[in-house]
Structure 1
Amino acid sequence: MLKIRTASSNNADAALAGKECARKIKDALHDSKLVFVYSGVSYDQQALLKAIGEELPGVPLIGNTSFSGIVTQDGFITGEKGYVGIMALSDADLTVGTAAAAKSGSARETGRKLAESALAAAGKKEAPAYMYMVAPPGEEEYYLKGISDVVGRVPLFGGSAADNTLAGEWKLFAGKTITGDGAAVAFFYTKAAFANKYTGGYKETGKYGVITKIAKERTLVEINGKPALEQYREWTGASAKDTEGGNLLVRSITNPLGVKDPLGDLIAVRHPMNGNADGSIAVGNNLAVGTAIALLEGSTDDLIKAVSAALADLKAKMKGPIAGFHLVHCGGRRIGIGERINELTAAIKKEAGTIPFIVEFTFGEYGYEDDGRNTCGGLMLSFTAFGEK
């Protein structure tokens, strides 16, 4: 039977924070098979991971830096000098293989190598029951393609490493690898139940267009044959100043764009990150010419309500007892929620009840809906439940 425990700390000393968390886990669980680690960029990540590893020898660690803080049953944990939250999984019938690597060659090539290394670490040749991935913002789709080249389409959850200032200071890690440019994966072999709820929780406005020009996959140049910024301003009523440069990143949290999957089961949110001087928009994930793009909307109230709704939907997908929740929440949405973070925390705690959980805040989210393909998006929620059996 799967058992899960979480622990957190905002001790200013990274090593002491790691020891505090690991000792809480060690006292509560035996034979942990994996520990997720989410931390602040202010920490010395090597010291943090070394301290956790000394308390939990031989247990694979995987994770990344999280924007602004983390959330567990203890509440929202943050600190100027650092913070950390960990989640440990223990089950005699669970096998986990992890791997991490700095980028070598293309992202797709690196993804292939990671998949092969994770298979070897698990001592398996067959595809896992499900998998976790973390990458830096930028080439998530290609790391995923490389992994899928090796194991095929396997149910996915995870998110992109984040920092606190969009300065590229993020880190991801597994084993002895700590990198800001690469990826890490965990392959899970188990018969226990698993479910993922992947959603933006935004409403459609009824305003749609066709992507008529892009550049380098993540720059939206034209919608309906006109400059993308011009079309966005027409749709939203935003001013030129609202959409200039980095102003667009915050302005668009309540009015992002989205692309639908072929069956309409999922709207993958595309977060406008920067309004460029040439009228184009830098977007957080890949786009394709000739596809429809929709204007979405959601107030701060909606962003908080979406968390409760997603967690309720996730619980409904699980048939038996739930051991724990792994909740990936977009860092951009966290910016939109701002000082109301305690409302978000209360909403999660109310819906989770006594079930342990951890929330990380990311700069990209990965998941799937129903039997759909794995997707990378922004301004999304990727909520995962692990069954006891």
Structure 2
Amino acid sequence: MLSAKTGTSVNASPELAGKEAAAAVKAVEDAKVAFVYSGVQYDTKALLGAVSKELPGVPLIGNTSFTGVITDQGFVTGDDGFVGIMAMGDADMTVGVAGSPKEGDARATGHKVAVEAMKNAGKDCAPDYFFMVASPGEEEFYLKGITEVIGRVPMFGGSAADNTITGEWVLYTSDMVTPDGVAVAFFYTDKAFADVYTGAYKETEKVGIITKVEDYRKICEIDGVPALEKYMEWTGAKKDEIEGGNLLGYSVTAPVGVKDPLGDLIAIRHPQSANEDMTFNIGNNAAVGTAMILMEGSVDQLISSTGETLEKLKTKLGKEPGAYMLVHCGGRRAGIGDRIDEVAKALKDAAGGVPFITEFTFGEFGYEDDGRNTCGGLMLSFAGFEK
């Protein structure tokens, strides 16, 4: 039987914060992995050292989270730092954790980490599902390297984040801390797993074909016209509203998306910055010849979609849940602002007493139905594990 517990702390000392949060979960029997999400304010190695001391032999994996975490205890944040931990244990589950700073290229690093994760699990076969955390920027290439080793296996996860979008993020395992790399947890179990991966935005009828892209993430032209010009036409935005970094906040309620071939998923592409040449940058890769769709939502919908998505996850899992790991976009969290306690309440109500932890990321990973694993932004990747 799977068991899980969560613990949090906002102690200014990373050692005491790690000890306090880990002490709350050390009662988990047969603990096989602990997800750890923290603030950039801490000395991460000191924090992880304290956690490992309380949870000897338990593999740790996680990253810095944007402004806080949510657990069954509510939204947790602190000016001097914060940490949230969820430990999971099951005598019939095996977990292999591995991570690495980027070595060579991202694809090669992903390949290497996948091989190491299988080795650390004592296995020579693909896992039943896996968690991935990566630094923002090359998530799709880390995933390609992992897939070379294990094939198409259900996944969930997200990119490391910081509080100011200035590259202060780190990701980590028990014995690695890096601002640029990837880590995975491979799960081997007979218990059910499910993930709901969605932007929960409304699809509009404003659609164009991407006709020029640079460096995977700079959209230069849509329908043969400057991409920012097309976005302004679609949204009615004035140039000063979206110039430079203003686009990042503006587009939280008006992002763009790309649809998978079967129409089961619209992967959200978060417009992040507008350039003087009327191009704009997005948070994930895009390809020429792809239809780009204007999506729309409201802050009310960003909030309500969290509880609704967790309810969908419960149905999709179809078994008694033992824990939930909820990846929530940091951009959505920023758009929600000081109404974040409404999200915490919605998640707590929907969880119904089942332990859960929510991190806020700068990229979200998941899949829908039988589609391939995908990386996106402004999305929710909510995972559930059978008890």
Query: Which bin holds the TM-score, normalised by the shorter protein?
Result: over 0.9
Give the aligned partner of residue 16 of structure 2: 16
Distance 1:78 1:208 in 2: 39
Give the aligned partner of residue 129 of structure 1: 128
Distance 1:38 1:380 in 2: 18
Give the aligned partner of residue 323 of structure 2: 324
Paired amino acid for 1:129: D
Paired amino acid for 1:47: A
Is 1:337 aligned to residue 336 of structure 2? Answer: yes
In the alignment, is the contact (CA less than 8 A) between 2:29 and 2:90 conserved in 1? no
Give the aligned partner of residue 179 of structure 1: 178
Is 1:118 aligned to residue 117 of structure 2? Answer: yes
Distance 1:74 1:319 in 2: 25
The structural deviation recorded for 1:275 is 0.4
Identity of aligned residues (%): 60
Distance 2:313 2:225 in 1: 40
Give the aligned partner of residue 99 of structure 2: 100
Residue segments in structure 1 that go unaligned for 5+ positions in a row = none
Paired amino acid for 1:199: T
Give the match's secondary structure for 1:157.
strand
What pairs with 1:1-389 in structure 2 (closer than 5 Å)?
1-26=1-26, 28-388=27-387
The structural deviation recorded for 1:31 is 2.4
In the alignment, is the contact (CA less than 8 A) between 2:18 and 2:50 conserved in 1? yes
Paired amino acid for 2:213: I
In the alignment, is the contact (CA less than 8 A) between 2:3 and 2:29 conserved in 1? no
Distance 1:312 1:330 in 2: 18
Paired amino acid for 1:105: G
The structural deviation recorded for 1:319 is 1.9
TM-superposition CA deviations, 1:4-44 (whole Å, max 9, x none):
11111111111101101111111x31221100000000011
Q: CA RMSD in A?
A: 0.6
In the alignment, is the contact (CA less than 8 A) between 2:52 and 2:174 conserved in 1? no
Distance 1:204 1:92 in 2: 44
Give the match's secondary structure for 1:220.
strand
Give the match's secondary structure for 2:196.
strand
Distance 1:372 1:303 in 2: 24
The structural deviation recorded for 1:243 is 1.4
In the alignment, is the contact (CA less than 8 A) between 1:112 and 1:147 conserved in 2? yes
In the alignment, is the contact (CA less than 8 A) between 1:99 and 1:175 conserved in 2? no
TM-superposition CA deviations, 1:197-225 (whole Å, max 9, x none):
00000001110000000000000000010
Q: Number of matched residues?
A: 387
Paired amino acid for 2:240: K
TM-superposition CA deviations, 1:217-249 (whole Å, max 9, x none):
000000010000000000000000111000000
In the alignment, is the contact (CA less than 8 A) between 2:7 and 2:23 conserved in 1? no
TM-score, scaled relative to structure 2: 0.99
Distance 1:167 1:314 in 2: 33
